Structure 1
């Protein structure tokens, strides 16, 4: 494979006079061809119209020191060699016009000659792949050395550098741990989701949509994404968070987009609005499904154009904010019903992450208990812990069918707070756990006295004792299937709710067939559930 170097003529360093004294000083393009362990088969030499004579002299000198090197001249006029846009565009045009054959030749992009602007542009174009090669850096030899100079070849595939790769991996792990609040979680799907969210948080400023049930931690995750971006220099401004469920009528317009003095009765002063407050920062709109259609239309324009009209104003204003939205509602269904704009949904769900409930990641219960204990201890100023028997009893209950955790991590937080407050000597005992279990069971009872998990009567449908032969995980899946069928008018509707992700990857979306197959596994029919 031949080696081809691409280099800009050094109008100063390559010019050392016409006599023999020019050989006494280091000249980058000449010395590049004088190394015994670096054979340049072809040198693509770039220069402007004013440097033809110097290019000819350099070509002659290279022929003397390296007859094997064929020098090819290219007239490249930068105009202003210190104007970044001009230099980059000129070099980009050269790269696009050049017939690279990476299967037959390897390319070295010499970044020692030319202005600093040109060297930066060569680096960027190589890093972006327009020059499909590696960088070549040359320098004079050490004093008292007879060598023609030194060189270093730099491969921009950073994965080949173990130290750099390990540094990237360590930063990625630190970011992932931070997004999880320092909690070591075992749920594989949740861990994969957080790992991707860490990459998106650092590499993209596009909108992020966080879905999931109430209490799953949407607000806390948005806060951590903001703090992570702030740490990495991706944001200048602050975090502005608002629950859209609190915004109604004129108050919604005024709160989000601001108003001018006199815009309506009571508007005695100007108000900048939350979008303006979030300029250069991050705006978190929780429960975005509660926004009215008028506010949705204005928000869409603000997201797309970073411009919006304050209430009562004559001119638009600018705000360059990043956006995270949260919801516990089905925005797709709301869109079908005409309650949520489809174009806004398409704009905010580029990156969508669903936070699972505590029940769905029950394997992380123990780690979250430890997190809540540590948080309570820090806040209260003294250490709180379970004794061994109390911890085992609480964990056993928390993982059982009796524990619905209907408010998810809010339930867990409140539970630890109560037990910690009542713990004498900083120790939570069996008695304290038993009292807390009674409180939780009472809280989770429906008005009819049924627990949240028995609202769907599996035993009544399949016969007494049916649950005794099922893993709790299977009970949860079946209960969820039954509940969705009960709340749906057709099997197709139930299928759309159950398979909202996987159905998009199938050639034929026969949702009804998939629902029927799942029900038949347990001897159930959709008709008996929908009637219920």
Structure 2
């Protein structure tokens, strides 16, 4: 946006700004001088002060009004008893930044670091580098010759973290807080997962590029995407909404309309304009879960929207704009989908800059216990009742939870549901060994049918047939075809598979041709032996 208002935030200089009498105009005063710059109009000057400096702020504000009537001076008193106490100064500035109504769409922020104690200058640097102050540092310098009306010069400093590694190390606490925030304060112990979240925190703060979160259902992709959004919004990097959609729910013509919007009359039933989710996510974050389920046409439209920030709503000849950040989620191998022609290679390349594989719960057994504690605490907050395990119950549940018998096929969804059931059944807020025994039976029963049909479930018909064809099958055909393909994959040849599949009916035929029967069955779905094996 052009013609943004310039806003300066900085401390009053109790020494450099403190000039009295008419001779003060012959002295260089950094705060006044910044408002005197001939090529810059400061629309607002937020002057920070503490203690007894209020009178000085008033006097400096009056002088700024004389040299720059267009500048509004806003004083802010901070609770700093000792300007050289790093903890006090940092805490006061941190609270100020968190509560300040930044409007980066309409205003540019200059953080003045010429005045104030050295501790204040360091704290302003750190908070600006961390984007709690979403602006640039400004340094003012006096004129070469004192006693003139020359206001001196100023320089804007764009922070480059690589040039300030020594100072950036002092900000590790805030980075650790960001990592803890992404994990909801759960003290996870898996080193690979902790390293992954640590990198995601750094990337989320420093990059606007798309991110791709991969992992099985229930691994926490949606939860992590929302936490990334909350983290970036707290740093004033996003101002819009968090918009989420599971692409597996999008089908046919409605998919493009849901994502990109449509204009009235563009198709039957389009009785009014619809903005679409991409426009709803303007200046916010769009999370497209199961992005591998999108059709090829929608993928092409999405690529243009991600690269150019503009696209055509359905039925419209006029492009619209939306500046959103994209996070995509999938439980598919998109590289394999690209090779199979079901996912666009150019879109995959565009969203594959930052790709993270979230492990399932069974791959992080050491994290089950801290997540168990977190879920119990969360249940207590939501239901107003504290729930605990007794010693024997906790030991029995944890022994099972980390054993090979615990499949955790639904990952954290299974664990959350399990904790909820036990907490509800807990008498007087205590989960007993009897409650745990009952719950373990439920979990084993939950996972048993899936284990029994594992070979059938492992057959992904969408991979074999394509999304559209697989989506048009009746449940009967789906289950039957999966069973047939599962047998084919365990057989040496077409004839071998036919003999297994027609082992009873073939006895009634004088000249059984099992291979031909199986070949014709597969042909009903446009398949050949090579397609399924």
Same fold (TM over 0.5): yes
Work out the CA distance in 2 between the residues paired with 1:195 and 1:118. 41
2:155 matches 1:120: yes
Given candidates 305, 310, 315, the residue that maps to 1:312 is 315
Equivalent residue for 1:232? 235
TM-score, L = length of structure 2: 0.57
Equivalent residue for 1:303? 306
Asked whether the equivalents of residues 210 and 351 of structure 2 are also in contact (C-alpha less than 8 Å), the reply is yes
Equivalent residue for 2:217? 214
| 1:110-153 Cα deviation digits (max 9, x unpaired) | 944499896224x44xx669xxxxxxxxxxxxxxxxxxxxxxxx
Asked whether the equivalents of residues 255 and 274 of structure 1 are also in contact (C-alpha less than 8 Å), the reply is yes
Given candidates 257, 261, 267, the residue that maps to 1:258 is 261
Q: CA deviation at 1:157?
A: 5.4
Work out the CA distance in 1 between the residues paired with 2:318 and 2:151. 43
2:200 matches 1:165: no
Structure 1 unmatched runs, 5+ = 1-24, 29-108, 130-155, 456-485, 490-530
Work out the CA distance in 2 between the residues paired with 1:447 and 1:177. 35
Q: CA deviation at 1:379?
A: 1.0
Work out the CA distance in 2 between the residues paired with 1:417 and 1:26. 70
For residues 448 and 374 of structure 1, do their structure 2 counterparts lie closer, same or farther at Cα, with a shift above 3 Å needed? closer
Q: CA deviation at 1:380?
A: 1.2
2:234 matches 1:199: no
Asked whether the equivalents of residues 141 and 152 of structure 2 are also in contact (C-alpha less than 8 Å), the reply is no
Work out the CA distance in 2 between the residues paired with 1:241 and 1:262. 26
Equivalent residue for 1:43? none
Q: CA deviation at 1:401?
A: 1.1
Work out the CA distance in 1 between the residues paired with 2:410 and 2:140. 62
Work out the CA distance in 1 between the residues paired with 2:393 and 2:191. 28
For residues 447 and 207 of structure 1, do their structure 2 counterparts lie closer, same or farther at Cα, with a shift above 3 Å needed? closer
Work out the CA distance in 2 between the residues paired with 1:26 and 1:427. 73
2:349 matches 1:346: yes
For residues 385 and 270 of structure 1, do their structure 2 counterparts lie closer, same or farther at Cα, with a shift above 3 Å needed? same
| 1:487-524 Cα deviation digits (max 9, x unpaired) | 9x9xxxxxxxxxxxxxxxxxxxxxxxxxxxxxxxxxxx
Asked whether the equivalents of residues 143 and 152 of structure 2 are also in contact (C-alpha less than 8 Å), the reply is no
Given candidates 185, 188, 211, the residue that maps to 2:188 is 185
Given candidates 353, 362, 369, the residue that maps to 2:365 is 362
Q: How many residues align?
A: 324
TM-score, L = length of structure 1: 0.57
Equivalent residue for 1:323? 326
> What does 1:56-95 align with in structure 2 at a 5 Å threshold?
none
What is the SS of the residue equivalent to 2:439? helix
| 1:3-36 Cα deviation digits (max 9, x unpaired) | xxxxxxxxxxxxxxxxxxxxxx9899xxxxxxxx
For residues 289 and 276 of structure 1, do their structure 2 counterparts lie closer, same or farther at Cα, with a shift above 3 Å needed? same
Asked whether the equivalents of residues 307 and 316 of structure 1 are also in contact (C-alpha less than 8 Å), the reply is yes
Work out the CA distance in 1 between the residues paired with 2:182 and 2:281. 21
Asked whether the equivalents of residues 445 and 451 of structure 1 are also in contact (C-alpha less than 8 Å), the reply is no
Asked whether the equivalents of residues 176 and 195 of structure 1 are also in contact (C-alpha less than 8 Å), the reply is yes
Q: CA deviation at 1:181?
A: 1.2
Asked whether the equivalents of residues 244 and 289 of structure 2 are also in contact (C-alpha less than 8 Å), the reply is yes
Q: CA deviation at 1:160?
A: 3.7
Equivalent residue for 2:252? 249
> What does 1:144-163 align with in structure 2 at a 5 Å threshold?
158-161=164-167
